[in-house]
Amino acid sequence: METVIISGGNPGVPINMRKAPSTSSAIIDKIPQGSEATLIENSGTWAKLTWNGRTGYVMSTLVHTKGEPAGDTVTVSRAELEKAYNILGNLLGLRG
């Protein structure tokens, strides 16, 4: 068993710990982002872990070893970002 960090998805939003490895399974706890947990098993899509005295399942993409970045980092130029902003703004009817 190893200690892991729970993080990813929407920053600041707690991560759902579920009773079984399924998004339709009952939520048994909400883990604050950045919390440490004990990894019991990682099956690829779901990780079985213990946190705060409870054992349950979290999506594997939200489980990271210490020192591992949470998610992929992508470098985008300012010009690319402005272009995307303008396209999205036009699609949504925003004026800025």
Its pTM stands at: 0.68
Give the side-chain half-sphere CA count within 13 A for 86: 6
User: What structural domains does the chain harbor?
Assistant: 2-69 (2.30.30.40)
Candidate from 4-18, 20-34, 36-50, 70-84 with smallest mean pLDDT: 70-84
Model confidence over 40-72: pLDDT tens digits? 999 889 999 999 999 999 999 999 887 665 555
Q: What is the pLDDT of residues 71-83, one digit of tens each?
A: 555 566 788 878 8
Specify the higher pLDDT residue, 94 or 26: 26
